[in-house]
A and B are shown apart, each in its own frame.
Chain A
Amino acid sequence: MTDLESRLTRLSTPGLRPPVLPDADVAYTLHDTPIGTMLLAISHGRVVASSFDDEETMTDRLARAVSPRVLRQPGPLDDVRRQLDEYLAGQRRAFELDVDLVLASPFQRLVLEDLPTHTSYGRTTTYGAVAGDIARPKAARAVGTALGANPVCVVLPCHRVIGANGALTGYAGGLDAKRFLLNLEAKS
């Protein structure tokens, strides 16, 4: 490349501005919480993700499952963030949010959909009990896997489900996060 050509490649002006786009089909934001950074996403007014997974993984999944028009737009998530912060500060016991389990399989939906009614604030239940609640008493292990894949963590309280022997077993956000949430609910 000649000197003139490399001068051309550097031709620029300062103060470039990123674009501003209309409301996304899927709007998401990264939200810092006491239990780690969470990716929150909303589509047509319904929460589609509240996850500890990384940005690239989650936005790829949302692009495939909902629409490729996925944008980082914090505005549409203001209410979700507010409710989550209140909950994590011990000032809220239930979420008033519409959830869309578009990232879940049919069986995961069966397990996750009614979690707020099958569990209660400040109490734990077991994988076996949840399996019984959905009329699949032998599916405790599958229930555990479905809960582990919860795309809408905290809002759908999979952290309230523990092993029959009292072991916390596992959590997408790590066992420390699960312990934090259970302690929070026990205190508040």
Chain B
Amino acid sequence: MRSTYVMALRLPPFQALIDAHWQDVARLARALAGPDDGDDVAQRAWEKAYAAYPALTSAKNLRSWLLTITARCATDVHRARKPQRPLDEAPPVAVDGPETADWPDPDLWRAVNDLPERQRFAITLKYVGDLDHHGVAAALDTTPAASRRLVSDALATLRTKLGVHDD
């Protein structure tokens, strides 16, 4: 016989989540979806999180819950755009232009942007989102082992592209 423990779930005030994580969500959204769609993705992610919040069954790992929602919103935007954008057309992250002049590390932006979608998402979640492979896997509906592969393939490509040999 199993016993059931009913624990009162103590969710923090939603404002505390915003204060603690809005910059992480905004940064991740831009890295995933590019500067044009990134802000829209972040806004949508917050709306979804806000709507779902009172029904949450766990108050653990709220940060990775938010980043997962952000990744799903970025995927939705990406899929919605795909039919209008043939493969050889401009990449989703526009890294050339006057508005990008003051971005840090434009070479890296460009190289990340050229990665296949899954690799780009995995590496962004891992490093910009600071998630471990379990967190990355959850956000991408895959396994930690697959996440590890995606990230190491992406790193290898970036090293070649950028000409860095640091390990």
Contact A72 B15, beta carbon cutoff 8 Å: yes
Bound-state Cα–Cα, A71 to B16, Å:
9
B15 and A71 contact, CB distance less than 8 A: yes
**B residues in contact with A26, CB < 8 Å:** 13
Nearest A residue to B112 via CB reads A11
In whole angstroms, how far apart are the Cα atoms of A69 and B102 in the complex?
37
B side interface size, CB within 8 A: 45
A64 sits at the interface (CB 8 A) = yes
Is the C-beta of A167 less than 8 angstroms from some C-beta in chain B? no
Q: Is B92 an interface residue (CB 8 A)?
A: no
Assess whether A135 is interfacial by the CB under 8 Å rule.
no
Contact A5–B18 (Cβ < 8 Å): no
A7 and B105 contacting across the interface, CB-CB below 8 Å = yes
Contact (Cβ within 8 A) B158 A22: no
| B103 CB, min distance to chain A CBs, angstroms | 5
Q: Which of B10, B12, B42 has the most CB of A within 10 A?
A: B12
What residues on A are CB-neighbors of B27 within 8 Å? Answer: 11-13, 16
Residues of chain A in range 92-106 having any CB-CB distance to chain B below 8 Å: none
How far is A68 from B130 in the complex, measured between Cα atoms in Å?
26
Q: How many Cβ-Cβ contacts under 8 Å join chain A to chain B?
A: 106
Known contacts A3-B166, A21-B47; A60 and B12 CB within 8 A of each other: yes
Assuming the A-B contacts A10-B105, A11-B109, A16-B26, are A68 and B13 also in contact, with contact meaning beta carbons closer than 8 angstroms in the complex?
A: yes
- Verify B159–A13 contact, CB threshold 8 A: no
Q: Are B13 and A14 in contact (CB under 8 A)?
A: no
* Complex interface: chain B residues within 8 A of A59 (CB): 13, 15-16
Instruction: Judge whether B11 and A68 touch: CB under 8 Å.
Output: yes
Please name all residues of chain A whose beta carbon is closer than 8 Å to the beta carbon of B167 when the two chains form the complex.
2
Q: Using A21-B50, A70-B13 as known contacts, say yes or no to A4 and B105 having CB atoms under 8 A apart.
A: no
Question: Residue on B with the closest CB to A18?
Answer: B22
Is B97 at the interface (CB under 8 A from chain A)?
Answer: no
CB of A134 within 8 Å of the partner chain: no
- Chain A residue numbers with a CB within 8 Å of B145 are none
CB pair B46–A11 under 8 Å, yes or no, is: no
Q: How near does chain B come to A58, taking the closest CB pair, in angstroms?
A: 9
Q: Mark A9-34, 1 if CB is under 8 A from B, else 0.
A: 11111101111111010101000000
Q: How far is the CA of A22 from the CA of B43 in the complex (A)?
A: 11
User: Which residue from chain A places its CB closest to the CB of B158 in the assembled complex?
Assistant: A4
* Residue among A7, A17, A64, A67 making CB contact with B108, cutoff 8 Å: A7
Closest to B45 in A: A19
Which among A11, A21, A64, A67 is the interface contact of B10 at CB below 8 angstroms? A64
Q: Provided the pairs A10-B105, A17-B26 are in contact, do residues A62 and B13 lie with their beta carbons within 8 angstroms?
A: yes
Interface residues of B in 43-72 (CB under 8 A from A): 43, 46-47, 50, 53-54
List 6 additional A-B contacts (Cβ < 8 Å) besides A8-B128, A11-B105, A12-B128: A16-B22, A16-B30, A19-B25, A19-B42, A22-B47, A63-B12
